[in-house]
Structure 1
Amino acid sequence: MPFDHNDHYHRLLLRKLPRHGRTALDVGCGTGRFARRLASRGYEVDAVDPSAKMIAAAERTGGGPRFRRADAASATLPRARYDVVTCLASLHHMPFRTVTRFRDALAPGGVLLVLGCYAGHTWWDLAAVPANAVARAGAAAGDRLRRSGPPVAGAPVRAPEMSLTAVRAEAARLLPGARVRQLLYWRYLLTYTVT
C-alpha cells in the first residue's frame, strides 16, 4: 500500500513533543522512520521492536537512533528516563496494560504518545473511506512520478481487538488524566503527561 496511515500522523505527533525534551523511546519502531525524525529534532533515541527483520531494516538506514530488538511488553525499561515515549501502531500487538510500563519509563513532565489502532467501526470511520481512497491514489501517483524503488518490507500486521470505547475506558483506568482523540484512518491518539 503506497499510503502509510501511520506516517500520515508524524507531523501531529511531532507537534506534541515536550518543548525541552532530550531523551526518547520509540516502541515498535519498525524500519525506524519516526525514530529518525525524533533524532533529527535533537533527541537521544532508543528504538525497540520485537522483529529482527524490522531492526535489521532500521539499522541499514542508520540515522542516529540506537536500535535494539526487544519486546517492550516484557523487556526491562529504565524507570523515569525518557522525556517522551512514542508507540505508533504497535500497542495492539501487546497487552494494553503495557502503557503502565511506558508511563513508568517517563521522566517527570514526560509525555506518552500512542498512535493506536482500534477494532470495529464508528460513524467517523465512514469519512475515512473516501479520504483513504484519495490519499492512496495520490501517494501511488507520486511514487510513479518519482519512480521509487521496491518498497521496504512491511512490519508484521495484526488486527486490533479493542474498540475505541474500550481503549478510552482502559486509558482512564490505567492512566488517569490521559486523553484519547479519535483520528481519521481508524486511528486514535492517546496522550498522557507525567506530573
Structure 2
Amino acid sequence: MLRRIYDWTMSLASRKSAEVWLAIIAFVESSVFLVPADVLFIPMTLARPERAWRYALTATLFSVLGGIAGWMLGYYAFETIARPILEFYGKAEAFDSLRTGVDYKTVLLLLVTSGLAHLPPIKVVTILAGVAHVDIVLFIVSAILARGARFLLIAWLLRRYGEPIRHFIEKQMGRIALALAAFAILAYLAYRFLAH
C-alpha cells in the first residue's frame, strides 16, 4: 500500500495542478499523511527550477499550517482523532514512549529535528506538541524555521546542481540531516547538563 501511495504522489508532479497538490501533501504530511512532501517537491523543482523558491515557500507554508492542524489534534482531540490516526500508522506505541519521556523543551527540539530530518516523523511531533501544550507561537516559529530551512536548502541545491544532485538529496540528505539533528540533540543535552 505504501508503494502505491508513493507512486501516486510521484505521478502528481507532472500535472498542471502540481503546486496545489504540493500544498495539500505538505499540509497533510505534517498532521496525518505518511509520504513526505519531498517526493513531490523534488521532481517539481527539477522540472521547473525557476520556480524553486516559490515551491519551497508553498511547501513551507502548508507544512506549517498542517503542523498547526496536528498541534490542534493533539491539544483538543487526542483520544478521539489523533490516537486512531497514530494507531493506523502503527505509531501509537512510539508516540506513547515519547509522550512519557519528554518535557516541553524536548518537544521543541524534536520539532526541529523532525522538521529537518523527519526524525521522528513530523506528524508525530506536531501531535505531541499539542498534547504537551507547547505554546502555539513558539511552535509556529520553530516549525517555520525547521521546515523552511529544509525546503529552501533543497531548492537551492536543485537550482544550483540540477538533476545530478537528486540522488544525493534522496539518499544522503537524510543522513546529513540526521547528523545535524543528532548534533542538535547532543548540544541540547550538554547545555542541560552544564546548566544543572
TM-score normalised by L of structure 1: 0.27
| Larger RCO, structures 1/2 (Cα 8 Å, 6+ apart) | 2
Which structure shows the bigger proportion of residues in helix conformation?
A: 2
Which structure shows the bigger proportion of residues in strand conformation?
A: 1
